[in-house]
Each structure stands twice: as C-alpha cells, then as structure tokens.
Amino acid sequence: MRMADLAFTEYEALVREKSPIVVIPCGALEQHGPHLPLATDAMIPTMLAERFVPAFGGIVAPTFTYGVRSQPKSGGGNHFCGTTSLWGSTYALMVADIVEEFGRHGVKKIVMLDGHTENQPFLVEGVERALVNLRRDGITDVRVIRLAYYMAIDAKLQATLFPDGLLSWDLEHAAVMETSVMMALSPSHVRLDRIPDDPPADFPIYETFPIDPAPIPCHGVLSSAKSATAEKGRAVVDTLVAEFSDLIPRAFR
C-alpha cells in the first residue's frame, strides 16, 4: 500500500481505524559505480518495504531519495557527478519535519528503513527532535523504529554472499551485496557488462580534508562486484522480507 497513491480520505480512514505501521524508506542519490543507478540506496529499502508491508497491513510513505553527504570510505565521497547530497543538519531537520507531520495526523507507528550509512546519526537526531516537538504539543504516543536493512544480514547470509570470506563491509559500496540485491529486485537496472572488477580501495586509517581522491577508485566502487549474482540477491531479499514481516509488527506490540 503506497501512501502517495491514496486519496486523503482513504489515508485518513486507515490511520483512524487501523493505526497502521508507516514505513518511510530513507536512501540517497549517490554514485553506485557505472553499473548501478544513482538511487540504489533509495530503491532497495523502497522495494523491500513494498514486499513486506502487506504482511501487517502497513503503508509505504514516499522515499527520502536525497541523503546525507557521501563519505569516501563508505560511499566514494561527495565529489562524484550525480552524488547529490544534503548536509546532515539539513537532513535532520527534514526528517524531523516529516516525522512530526505523521505524528500530528495520528500515525503512532513509524519505521525509518535506511539504506545509506551516512544518514544514521542525522536520522536519529531528526526523529528525536520530532518526538520532542510532538511531546510539547501533547502528542506522547508516537513510536519510531530506525532500521538499516543491511544490519539484518546475518552470518548465514554473509556466507552466501561471500563464500570465500568477506573482505570488509566498509568496502561493500556498490559491490557484491548491493549489486546482487538489485539483480534480484530490479534486474533491468543493473548494467551487467559494466561491473568493475578491480582490487579493493586502500584507504589510510585517517581521513583527509579537503578530500584526497587518490585512494578512491575513479569508477566509485570500493571493492569488486564481479561475484554478484541474482541468486545471492534473492537469498538476501527473501530472508529480509520474511524477517521484517515478523520483526516490525512485534517491535510495536
């Protein structure tokens, strides 16, 4: 059930009568190599949410497609053409405004389903600010869950994705996991002939400002995605959809 497709009267009736869980997918518009779309971090949580909300009669709200500034060690950095980001402070205020609006309209259960690492602290700040503001207005019964979908990839899924061992989750940007999941969820969005297969990025332990582009591969992928397959992606999608179908309604009980 997509909120954006509903008439306000239908949405209002649902909120009043069913107190549904509303899932807000949170992503980014960030380069994901030459083989994946810029909106990959937004598309994955959106497509997952559309698959698991029917299990509990939930609603998928429009996705936050712009995210917090990309960093070299997690997303390649903000200097890539098309990586179109918000400052964390702007993002936190945007999240706060939207969560507050949902709270004011009577939504009690909200899930922020995140697909972009850099969003994390600012997403939390936005949610906390919204709850403080709502409380001031006497609305005290809104609960929000922040859930980064990739945190649910357990040891078993990790072994499926990386039969020869995982190099580093930090270097998985646009690599095996995201490429496999996109192959499963939306194969037409993956340019199979353009998957780079280079050695992993070699970053120093420190960070340099202004950003030093030298250790960042020019194609933006931080480790090889060559071993991505749709089968691996389906294993992740099926496991996460089953897990979230059960975990999310339980978290609100």
DSSP structure class, residue 176: H
Q: How far is the CB of 16 from Zn ion (least distance, A)?
A: 37
Cβ neighbours of residue 67 closer than 8 Å, sequence gap 6 or more: 26, 27, 28, 29, 30, 41, 42, 85, 86, 91, 116, 118, 119
DSSP structure class, residue 47: H
Q: How far is the CB of 207 from Zn ion (least distance, A)?
A: 19
Which of helix, strand or coil describes residue 195? coil
Nearest residue (CB) to Zn ion, 41 versus 100: 41
Nearest residue (CB) to Zn ion, 3 versus 31: 31
The one among 29, 38, 41, 100 contacting Zn ion by CB under 5 A:
41
**Residue pair 212/204 in contact by the 8 Å Cβ criterion:** no
Q: What is the CA radius of gyration of the chain?
A: 19
- Provide the terminal-to-terminal Cα distance of the chain, rounded to the nearest Å: 21
The catalytic residues are 30, 32, 41, 116, 118, 173, 178
* Binding flag, residue 100, Zn ion (CB under 5 A): no
Residue 245 neighbours by CB distance under 10 Å = 17
Q: How far is the CB of 129 from Zn ion (least distance, A)?
A: 26
DSSP structure class, residue 149: G
Piece of the chain touching Zn ion by CB under 5 A; list 37-45, 64-72, 147-155, 191-199: 37-45
Q: How far is the CB of 248 from Zn ion (least distance, A)?
A: 22
H helices within the chain, ranges in order?
Answer: 8-18, 40-52, 72-75, 88-104, 120-136, 155-161, 176-185, 230-251
Distances (CA, A) of 142 to 3, 59, 125: 18, 16, 16
Q: How far is the CB of 32 from Zn ion (least distance, A)?
A: 6
Name the residues that contact Zn ion, by CB under 5 A: 41
